[in-house]
Amino acid sequence: MLQNRQNIMKITYKSYTMSRTIYVGHRPCPDTVIPSKFCDNRIVSSKYTVWNFLPKNLFEQFRRIANFYFLIIFLVQVIVDTPTSPVTSGLPLFFVITVTAIKQGYEDWLRHKADKEVNKYPVTVLEDGRSVKKESEKIKVGDVVEVVEDETFPCDLILLQSSREDGTCFVTTASLDGESNHKTHYTVPDTEKDLQALTATIECEQPQPDLYKFVGRMHIYKLEQEPAVRSLGPENLLLKGATLKNTKKIYGVAVYTGMETKMALNYQGKSQKRSAVEKSINAFLLVYLCILISKAVVCTTLKYVWQSKEGQDEPWYNQKTQKEKDSNMYLKMFTDFLSFMVLFNFIIPVSMYVTVEMQKFLGSFFITWDKDFFDPEIQEGALVNTSDLNEELGQVEYVFTDKTGTLTQNNMEFIECCIDGFQYRYRDTQSELDGFTVTDGPVNKLQQKAGWEKEELFLRALCLCHTVQVKEAGSEVLADQVDGIDGLLLPQPEEERGFIASSPDEIALVKGAMKYGFTFLGLESKSMKIKNRQNDIEEYKLLHVLNFDPVRRRMSVIVQTKSGETLLFCKGADSSIFPRVRPEEVDRIRMHVERNATEGYRTLCVAYKQLSAEEYAMADTGLREARLALQDREEKLMAMYNQVETGMSLIGATAVEDRLQEEAAETMEALQGAGMKVWVLTGDKMETAKSTCYACRLFQRGTELLELTVRTLEDARLKRDEKLYELLQEYHRKAVQDAPPVKAGVTRSWSTANQDYGFIIDGATLSLVMNPLRDADASQYKSLFLQICQNCTAVLCCRMAPLQKAQIVKMVKNSKGSPITLSIGDGANDVSMILEAHVGIGIKGKEGRQAVRNSDYAIPKLKHLKKLLLAHGHLYYVRIAHLVQYFFYKNLCFILPQFLYQFFCGYSQQPLYDAAYLTMYNICFTSMPILAYSLLEQHISMEILLHCSSSAYLTCTVLFLKQQRLFFVFATMLSSVSAWLVIIILILLSLLPEILLVVLRKPRGPHSRQTICVIGVKLCKTQL
């Protein structure tokens, strides 16, 4: 008995480590074990408390080199008898620490205030059949929570009951991922209408931050029946922070609370990005610290050299005490060294960090206040998430951009379709289906159409294979909604209806089918209704949805007709559909797809398959088992999807136009004219992306394209890796070895000698470059690839996965010279490259706000990038450069007279300046003027920088560098060993005349010194 109990406890503990078990409503079940304890629903985003603020904040501040250095200097002044008062170092340090602590304390107080609002928010919880009002922080895992329309969910809930008859609810997740489109969530099947009578347990995975993944199952217990098991997925999970829409009321059970909710797990801080100027500041601090130490060593050495002469160590007016005579010689030398360090320590600008932070913080408001960045369509302007990188905007050398939604509008319009090799283009003057072919497929005759059955089958596929929701006329939203951007109403007044979808492609296809007479009426209780061209209503039972996946690049639905036939409709990219249909069908469609891609259209292929009763039974069983799996659910579902989506018949293809962003071509041309290299990283087909690059003027008519794709690697004579190496060598010889040399003196890629090449690579070939079959060739492949790309005017990377985008950015960022990189995108698939680049910019587009949330700067449109970089970025770079150079230069000039004064005061550590002046010099006298200058200086107007960007940007930068000639000479001297030797020799020759005189004119005879003294006395009497 005891052994069995131990085994049960082991099994239970193992299951708890892999998953968690939740009792709905805290009601016990037949196989109840000891319930686990979970965290409460309190949210803590603050960093400090009242008790740990002082020690924690001080520890963090003294981790900075400058602050720690001045703390050591202050302690030395307190302990050792130094020439200056401890106040001279302590007061500036106290000012800097206090200002920073107040700023960080205020920011943390705001976080505490926000946490309190969330934690004290009133919610309704069902307890013993009654609705009880509670504070949000008191919700426990297992509580059944009631949420009404327009309220946010207080924790992560499993949907148990909805006021809608079909058991669904609509949710917006704008505060999580920025998507304001309505997402549909479903209740768990077979739950009791009376939740007080529901006895169930939920077994689900441990908390993890992925917003779109959830695996679990629910055991429903009924009297004298076997427990029913229902699978749980993301469609059943309501996330904390999301808002209930178009549903009066829902009930859900809490599964994740507090800091274990997905929203809280996604609030982990991003890696801190540091600008090149900040890194150079740290480098110069070390250089100036070396100058300080060298000055202290020189003065200490010369002091003891001077005192080694007879009579200089102990003059008659300053006799040593017995204690001083008995003191250790080396200890006295070390004390003198520290005294000189304290005397010269003002060469390190203590207030520079605070001034630089204030300049960046206040300067970032100029971006936010810029009216040119305001977009009336979305009623928003630019957003600054990180002010630490303002000056990086003016140093960008490589721009990595997404295509869809960034270069293009992501506003899809149905253009044409191809059915069984025949092209169909809609004409507004005709009400019936009109089609014709030109060169698509094997038929080359005008005014020919596919069969009637093929046409209707294709249009049914467009009406059924999607996840679009319909908003009927008269409801709150009449227009199409995709991430909060309203589309156009349908042209027929009597059929005015809006569509809700997460992707604009799906709305375009549904509206395209409507043009040809097939109308999607909506989904009710798993029943999809469409109206055909004869105005008859067709009803299909939705059996399964095989969701879209970026790896599969397709989605499918399984439906059942009234006659009992089971059909599978599938749509997706040509690369994922063609291998799963018959080859003879592909030939009729391929030419159409390639032509549309060349014209810049987005293409999708449509296929179908009729399932027999046995096939559907196997598919249904496999899909249900995969959805019930707690472990490896996604892999099992993927295997079932691939098994079902085989042996299909290709019906046709669609062409959807995604228009260019406003002023996209002018913006790209301006960036290239300013010397920046533009790379396009997209998941689209090569032909579509290439057409977009031509439209954006990244590729010109005379540009020679170097293509490195799977198609170019096909060679019967050579293996794929051998062909890859051969092409890399050929392109390297053409673009690098045979190219004219870049003009000397140009530090960035501003030469026009290499402007004739464009490079194209796809994701599969990039994988071979990054991970070749032979490990020994990895570095060589990457080196060749990088050199080719750096010598091309523009690079197009198509069929890219998000991880590959980040890999490319990282490769360029870590290349020779460490060029400054910028990534810009609008979707979740761009987040990885935005985080990887030195500067990440998000566009407030239609693919959600994940990119905006993870970016350093956010702008409404691509056209705003031109002013952000060429005007604001240039001015920020000039201002911060002046600021930093001024601080180092004025401190060096300030302390140099103090150093020279030691040669005239016997190296006695006598200060030249008053203590009050030493204290206020860095804090007030020299900080405020340069701060105002660094905020308001415009050495060249923004209009000139924008309207003459290609020439003025380079000219202004060169002029700025010429203005900084003195600083660059100084910086070059500091980094040159020969310059240091010359400086040391000059110091020895010019600052040690007395030693040279003693060596060259040494007195002879015992009375020489006495004679000199007598002469000196006579001279004094004569003067008197």
Confidence check: pLDDT of 678 > 50: yes
Higher pLDDT, 839 or 990: 839
- Nearest partner of 713 among 762, 771, 775, 655, judged by Cα: 762
Q: What is the pLDDT of residue 923?
A: 73
pLDDT digits (tens, 9 = 90+) for 229-272: 888 888 889 988 888 887 888 999 999 998 888 877 765 445 55
pLDDT digits (tens, 9 = 90+) for 721-754: 778 888 888 888 888 877 665 443 343 344 444 4
Confidence check: pLDDT of 568 > 90: yes
β-strands 398-401, 821-825 pairing: parallel
3-state secondary structure of 547: strand
Mean pLDDT across the chain, nearest whole number?
A: 76
Paired residues of 499 in beta bridges: 470
Q: What is the pLDDT of residue 356?
A: 83
Higher pLDDT, 412 or 1017: 412
Orientation of helix 874-901 relative to helix 352-363, angle to 10°: 160
Q: What is the pLDDT of residue 662?
A: 84
**pLDDT-based confidence at residue 970 (cuts at 50, 70, 90):** low
Confidence check: pLDDT of 487 > 60: no
Residue 727 token pair: 């092409």
3-state secondary structure of 640: helix
Q: What is the pLDDT of residue 1015?
A: 44
Helix (H) or strand (E) holding 603: strand 601-611
Domains of the chain: 2-37+120-265 (2.70.150.10), 408-657 (3.40.1110.10), 704-741+748-792 (no CATH)
pLDDT digits (tens, 9 = 90+) for 305-355: 887 777 666 666 676 776 666 677 778 888 888 888 888 887 877 777 778
In this prediction, residues 902-917 reach a mean pLDDT of: 82
* Cα separations in angstroms, 292 against 348, 899, 975: 8, 10, 16
DSSP 817: T
Helix/strand/coil (H/E/C) assignment for every residue in 418-442 = EECCEEEECCCCCCCCCECCCCCCC
Burial readout 742-761 (b: 16 or more C-beta within 10 A, e: otherwise): eeeeeebbbeeebbebbbbb
Higher pLDDT, 147 or 448: 147
Q: What is the pLDDT of residue 570?
A: 93
Cα dihedral sign, 1015-1021-1022-1024:
positive
Distance, CA of 414 to CA of 657 (rounded, Å): 6
**pLDDT-based confidence at residue 146 (cuts at 50, 70, 90):** very high
DSSP 319: P
The torsion of the CA quartet 753, 757, 762, 765, rounded to 10 degrees, works out to -70
Higher pLDDT, 975 or 360: 360
Q: Which residues are catalytic?
A: 402
Q: What is the pLDDT of residue 1006?
A: 47
Confidence check: pLDDT of 418 > 50: yes
Contact 246, 299 (CB under 8 A): no
Q: What is the pLDDT of residue 478?
A: 37
Q: What is the pLDDT of residue 208?
A: 84
Paired residues of 722 in beta bridges: none
Q: How many residues does the chain have?
A: 1024
Distance, CA of 703 to CA of 16 (rounded, Å): 61
**pLDDT-based confidence at residue 1009 (cuts at 50, 70, 90):** very low
pLDDT digits (tens, 9 = 90+) for 592-630: 888 887 776 778 899 999 999 898 999 888 888 887 776
Q: What is the pLDDT of residue 845?
A: 65
Higher pLDDT, 860 or 330: 860
Distance, CA of 173 to CA of 329 (rounded, Å): 73
Contact 945, 956 (CB under 8 A): yes
Residue in this structure with the two tokens 């088992």, named with its chain if needed: 625
In this prediction, residues 279-289 reach a mean pLDDT of: 80
Distance, CA of 191 to CA of 202 (rounded, Å): 12
Orientation of helix 87-119 relative to helix 65-79, angle to 10°: 130
* Cα separations in angstroms, 53 against 97, 106, 381, 405, 699: 13, 12, 35, 44, 56
In this prediction, residues 911-922 reach a mean pLDDT of: 80
Q: What is the pLDDT of residue 754?
A: 45
Q: What is the pLDDT of residue 252?
A: 92
* Cα separations in angstroms, 232 against 28, 150, 217, 615: 21, 24, 5, 25
- Nearest partner of 306 among 1007, 993, 986, judged by Cα: 993
**pLDDT-based confidence at residue 1014 (cuts at 50, 70, 90):** very low
Contacts of 937 (CB under 8 A, 6+ apart): 875, 878, 879, 882
Contact 41, 135 (CB under 8 A): no
Q: What is the pLDDT of residue 663?
A: 83
Confidence check: pLDDT of 646 > 70: yes
In this prediction, residues 958-977 reach a mean pLDDT of: 50
pLDDT digits (tens, 9 = 90+) for 575-586: 888 888 888 888
- Which residues are documented as binding site? 402-404, 506, 548, 571, 602, 682-684, 799, 805, 826, 829-830
Judged by average pLDDT, the poorest of 16-25, 79-88, 481-490, 513-522 is 481-490
DSSP 646: -
Confidence check: pLDDT of 145 > 70: yes
Q: What is the pLDDT of residue 775?
A: 55
Judged by average pLDDT, the poorest of 448-452, 477-481, 810-814, 934-938 is 477-481
Paired residues of 523 in beta bridges: 528
Distance, CA of 588 to CA of 584 (rounded, Å): 7
- Which residues are documented as binding site for Mg(2+)? 402, 404, 826, 830
In this prediction, residues 121-135 reach a mean pLDDT of: 87
Q: What is the pLDDT of residue 477?
A: 40
Judged by average pLDDT, the poorest of 97-106, 637-646, 778-787, 919-928 is 919-928
Higher pLDDT, 396 or 64: 396
Distance, CA of 646 to CA of 597 (rounded, Å): 25
